Amino acid sequence: MDHPKVSVIIAVGRDNPLYEESLKKQEYPNYEVILVKGYKAAEARNIGVRRAKGNIIAFIDDDVVLPKEWVSMGVELLERSGAHIVGGPNLIFPQASISERISDFLISTSIFSGFRKKFKKAKRAAFCDYKHFATCNIMMRKGVFEKVGYFNEDYKYTEDMEFFLKCKIKGLSLYNSPDFFLYHKRRTFPFAHMKQVFLWGYGNMQMVLDYPFVFKRPDIWGSFILISVSFAMLIFHFKLAVIIGLALLPITLHFLSYSLGVVSRFVAFLIKRKR
């Protein structure tokens, strides 16, 4: 097996990142590590790509821990599948707290989106839609950036989803394998989790404004339905709404946070248009 050079790019925003020890222990013989600090995610990743010397680009977050065969597995999957991009699940740490496990449960599956291969291991490897990939665990051929361009620096959130959507539009192949996994720290429930999913909703609504066909996603139109039903319940069936909300508190907070993010971005768009 050849060992093409791999450039592992990390946008660092924490004082005590988790990845360091596991990245040093990689069995793969030919990789470099590119750290970019002090920039928002899209800018940091673009800077890293421009600095990269490898023919293969990998991205991880600074709060992950890698199996020692992570780099070699990614390279093997790229060669075996022939895909432009390979990814896999970012799994919860085995020693995670209860609040992190609640967060993991909520982001792993949902009424609107179903099973999410970027958070849980699928039964088998397969070519997948862009929604099943995340830049905390991804590897791709450097030529992808020549075909698609760089990460959109106008995006504050979900810039990785917008990038993978552009890859899909350009006809590039994305391959998800349960063998290409790492461990990723989860947000604690409720407040950190609610902030995260709110920003996901906000960023995904930005994608709808830029790519209107994305509105077909159930989590987007479902957010408008959920907000409308919730307000109607509070007005006409206040007691029942409170009882249901408390009985299903984690689920309620999760979906309302995401839906409020979607609606907030849409309202901001409408206000900007009127000015």
pTM for this entry = 0.93
Q: Check residue 148 and give its pLDDT.
A: 97
> Which band of pLDDT confidence, cut at 50, 70 and 90, is reported for residue 218?
confident
Provide, for the chain, the percentages of residues in helix, strand and coil under a 3-state DSSP scheme, each rounded to the nearest 5.
50, 15, 35
pLDDT in tens, 64-98: 999 999 999 999 999 999 999 999 999 999 999 99
Would you say residue 185 has pLDDT above 70? yes
What is the rounded distance in angstroms from the CA atom of residue 43 to the CA atom of residue 160? 12
Residue 241 has pLDDT above 90, yes or no: no
- State both tokens at 52: 């990269």
- Mean pLDDT computed over every residue of the chain: 94
In the chain, which residues fall in CATH 3.90.550.10? Answer: 6-184
- Whether 203 and 156 have beta carbons less than 8 Å apart is answered as yes
Distant-in-sequence, close-in-space partners of 256: CB < 8 Å, separation ≥ 6: 226, 227, 230
The separation between the first and the last C-alpha atoms of the chain, rounded to the nearest angstrom, is 59
Query: Hey, what are 205's tokens?
Result: 């609504």
* pLDDT digit string, tens, across residues 129-141: 999 999 999 999 9
Q: How far apart are CA 98 and CA 189, in angstroms?
A: 9
Please answer whether residues 164 and 212 qualify as being in contact, where contact means their C-beta atoms are separated by less than 8 angstroms.
no
DSSP code string of 204-232: HHHHHHHSGGGGGSHHHHHHHHHHHHHHH
Domain covering 6-184, topology? Spore Coat Polysaccharide Biosynthesis Protein SpsA; Chain A (3.90.550)
Q: Tell me, what's the pLDDT at 116?
A: 82
Cβ distance 60 to 6 under 8 Å?
no
pLDDT band at 216 (very low <50, low <70, confident <90, very high): confident
